[in-house]
């Protein structure tokens, strides 16, 4: 079971003070899958992600990453689990005082015993993978938002994690750059077979990359829909789900008129 | 081809004829195993000095780009510079991973961030230009602070009154405990140290005069100013620099606010009001500390200590100390804000702004204190 479902969340309930944020969520992610968590603002997407990364402990429920329940494990087990995951943060979270190359080298130097020159070669391979071959000596403040996402992705992939978490990978980017990031995600998933969990509300990205989607709801605090994006858009019994996806429809229709 | 949880990698290096060696790799080649295997394999190859190295991958069950890195490092190892190198029995997936590595091999050390030129003339020029830009910014800042102050005097309702009160609380009221404690201890220390000398002449009562004059005209203002520079000067710089790098100041400008009027003037007014008050507190607590030592250790009565203090202190000393603390207040608030506005870049810029605000404040406080001392000798 562990082999095929690297991530398994069961009956997860989260409360901040008296306020219920997530109510009894259960889902699991298959190996090599691109799994999208979506929902409107305030639906608890980011809270769910923070709990899956072990940054916060839930009130009740289990969060199994790899073969460890990070809702209950010890510090040592948590540190072991962290080696299996990579995270691309929404703001890329590159360290501003280091170059792009040093940012990518950081986890490699920390977690391997490779000699410096081999680390340098690995960093160049990872940067080439995300299309940032000639930017190794740039500081994060000197490159664009899309490049920062790519560099953050290279850093998240530095140790070839089994599971990759991406928080809003294409938010705040122009449509072309966002599409490039989506393509990059698909390409990496196809080539390396990394399991990916993406938190987003960008409809274009959802249709481009998702194999399976769960949708969180602001009012009920539960998962209100699960399935492929096409299924949810065309045949969800829930009007709220259809409304979320119909925004895309409208823009699609507009472009059709333009081209016609 | 799947990654096993208990991954392992082993190798065999077998000699053949005419300096031909075969390296057989077995098991998983991923981040953990390559990290452990690379050094021993390289060492073994350097020792055997092959003329022709064949790498046999038939025993490899899983290989990712770290495996490719291992192969690449071996191929380009200095020990094999003139040797032939061949890869054998690579599985389809391994071959694809190796292909992705490409013919290029680039393991030069990573570039460190830093300055591009190391030419002394260029650096000198760079530093001079930097200093001139800083000076220009400083003059412009002082000018706009002055203009905004005039504006506030003309139209007092443009002042953000609530903000000013808030800054008075954080800069003044919240600083009372630390200023009081430091001054009380300082008064005790001064009384004790001076008594060591004065008791030799039976002049114990002059401890009161010494503590009063030193604190009111000199140490009270300077100690208070240094404490407030550390507490609030740095806070002003950190807050404003964070606002600067997160574009909040640009947002204020675009909404039609004058950032100087919005952020700097309330802080300057708050500092100018509370720092002289803190200075009075400081002198009061220092005199109390001196009195504690005088009464408990020097056989003075409370009344005589009090009387001596009143006799020594002239109104001029009070006025002198308070005028100094007014100047220090303007220095602390404006330097703190100036350093905040000068910040550029990321998280490190906020730290630099706070550090540089405290250093500049303390330097200017001491400098102006010396100027006051010179002025006084010609008064």
Q: What is the pLDDT of residues B9-58, one digit of tens each?
A: 888 888 887 788 888 888 888 888 888 888 888 888 888 888 888 888 88
The HSE-up count of residue B343 (CA atoms within 13 Å, CB side) is: 34
Is residue A23 over pLDDT 50?
Answer: yes
Q: What is the pLDDT of residue B304?
A: 92
What's the pLDDT tens digit per position in A55-66? 888 888 899 988
Is residue A96 over pLDDT 90?
Answer: no
Q: Which of B31, B41, B71, B94 to probe the A interface (max A CBs under 10 A)?
A: B31
CA distances for B314 relative to B17, B76, B194, angstroms = 104, 85, 21
A251 vs A135, residue with greater confidence? A135
What's the pLDDT tens digit per position in A129-159? 888 888 888 888 888 888 998 899 999 989 8
Q: Which residues of A47-57 are buried (b: 16+ CB within 10 A; e: fewer)?
A: bbbebbbbeee
Q: What is the pLDDT of residue B2?
A: 40
Separation CA B134–CA B129 (nearest Å) = 9
Nearest to B107 by CA among A120, A206, A98: A120
Whole-model pTM? 0.75
Q: Do B347 and A113 touch (CB under 8 A)?
A: no
Is residue B291 over pLDDT 70?
Answer: yes
Confidence of residue A229 (pLDDT cuts 50, 70, 90): confident
Q: For chain B, positions 58-117, list CB contacts with chain A under 8 A.
A: 64-66, 68-69, 72-73, 100-101, 105-113
Q: Which of B107, B110, B241 to probe the A interface (max A CBs under 10 A)?
A: B110
Q: Which residue of A has its CA nearest to B347?
A: A96
Which of B35-44, B236-245, B361-370 shows the lowest mean pLDDT across its residues? B35-44
pLDDT mean across residues, chain A: 85
Measured N-to-C along each axis, helices B315-342 and B234-245 cross at an angle, to the nearest 10 degrees, of 20
Separation CA B15–CA B32 (nearest Å) = 28
Q: Do A113 and B348 touch (CB under 8 A)?
A: no
Is residue B101 over pLDDT 80?
Answer: no
Is residue B317 over pLDDT 80?
Answer: yes
CB B341 within 8 A of CB B244: yes
Is residue B207 over pLDDT 70?
Answer: yes
At which residue do the structure tokens 């009090």 appear? B306
Of the partner residues A99, A118, A192, the one whose CB lies closest to the CB of residue B113: A99
Instruction: State the nearest Cα–Cα gap between A156 and chain B, in angstroms.
Output: 14
Q: In what order do the strands lie in the sheet with B84-88?
A: B9-15, B20-29, B52-63, B84-88
């Amino acid at each position: 079971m562990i082999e095929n479902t690297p991530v398994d969340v069961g009956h997860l309930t989260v409360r901040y003070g008296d306020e219920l944020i997530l109510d009894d969520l259960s889902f699991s992610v298959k190996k090599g899958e691109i799994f999208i968590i979506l929902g409107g603002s305030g639906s608890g997407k980011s809270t769910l992600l923070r709990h899956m990364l072990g940054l916060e402990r839930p009130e009740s429920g289990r969060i199994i990453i790899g073969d460890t329940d990070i809702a209950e494990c010890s510090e040592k087990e948590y540190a072991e689990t962290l080696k299996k995951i990579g995270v691309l943060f929404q703001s890329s979270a590159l360290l501003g005082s280091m170059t792009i190359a040093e940012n990518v080298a950081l986890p490699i130097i920390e977690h391997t015993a490779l000699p410096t020159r081999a680390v340098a070669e690995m960093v160049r391979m990872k940067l080439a993978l995300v299309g940032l071959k000639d930017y190794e000596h740039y500081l994060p403040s000197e490159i664009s938002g899309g490049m920062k996402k790519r560099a953050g992705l290279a850093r998240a992939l530095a140790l070839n994690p089994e599971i990759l978490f991406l928080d809003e990978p294409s938010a705040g980017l122009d449509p072309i750059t966002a599409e490039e990031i989506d393509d990059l995600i698909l390409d990496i998933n196809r080539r390396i077979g990394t399991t990916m969990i993406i938190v987003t509300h960008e409809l274009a990205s959802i249709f481009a990359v998702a194999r399976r989607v769960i949708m969180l709801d602001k009012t009920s605090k539960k998962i209100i829909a699960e399935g492929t994006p096409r299924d949810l858009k065309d045949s969800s019994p829930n009007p709220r789900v259809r409304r979320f996806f119909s925004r895309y429809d409208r823009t699609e229709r507009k472009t059709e008129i333009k081209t016609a | 081809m799947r990654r096993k949880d208990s991954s392992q990698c082993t190798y065999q290096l077998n000699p053949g004829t005419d300096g031909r060696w075969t390296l057989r790799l077995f098991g998983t080649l991923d981040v953990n195993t390559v990290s452990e295997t690379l050094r021993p394999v390289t060492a073994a190859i350097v020792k055997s000095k092959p003329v022709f190295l064949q790498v046999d991958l038939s025993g490899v069950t899983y290989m990712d780009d770290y495996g490719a890195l291992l192969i690449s490092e071996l191929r380009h190892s200095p020990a094999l510079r003139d040797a032939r190198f061949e890869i054998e029995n690579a599985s389809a997936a391994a071959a694809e991973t190796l292909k992705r590595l490409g013919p290029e091999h680039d393991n030069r050390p990573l570039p460190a961030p830093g300055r591009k030129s190391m030419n002394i003339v260029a650096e000198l020029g760079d530093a001079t230009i930097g200093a001139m830009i800083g000076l220009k910014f400083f003059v412009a800042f002082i000018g706009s602070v002055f203009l905004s102050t005039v504006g506030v005097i003309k139209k007092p309702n443009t002042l953000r009154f609530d903000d000013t009160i808030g800054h008075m609380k954080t800069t003044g009221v919240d600083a009372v405990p630390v200023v009081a404690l430091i001054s009380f201890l300082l008064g005790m220390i001064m009384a004790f140290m001076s008594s060591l000398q004065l008791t030799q002449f039976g002049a114990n009562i002059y401890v009161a005069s010494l503590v009063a004059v030193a604190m009111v005209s000199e140490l009270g203002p300077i100690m208070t100013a240094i404490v407030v520079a550390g507490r609030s000067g740095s806070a002003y710089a950190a807050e404003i620099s964070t606002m600067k790098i997160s574009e909040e100041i640009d947002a204020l400008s675009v909404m039609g606010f004058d950032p100087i009027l919005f952020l700097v003037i309330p802080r300057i007014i708050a500092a100018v009001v509370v720092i002289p008050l803190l200075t009075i507190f400081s002198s009061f607590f220092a005199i109390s500390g001196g009195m504690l030592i005088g009464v408990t250790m020097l056989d003075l009565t409370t009344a005589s200590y009090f009387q001596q203090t009143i006799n020594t202190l002239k109104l001029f000393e009070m006025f002198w100390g308070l005028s100094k603390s007014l100047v220090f207040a303007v220095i602390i608030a404006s330097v703190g804000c100036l350093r905040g506005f000068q910040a550029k870049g990321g998280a490190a810029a906020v730290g630099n702004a706070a550090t540089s605000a405290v250093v500049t404040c303390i330097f200017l406080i001491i400098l102006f204190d010396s100027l006051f001392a010179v002025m006084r000798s010609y008064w």
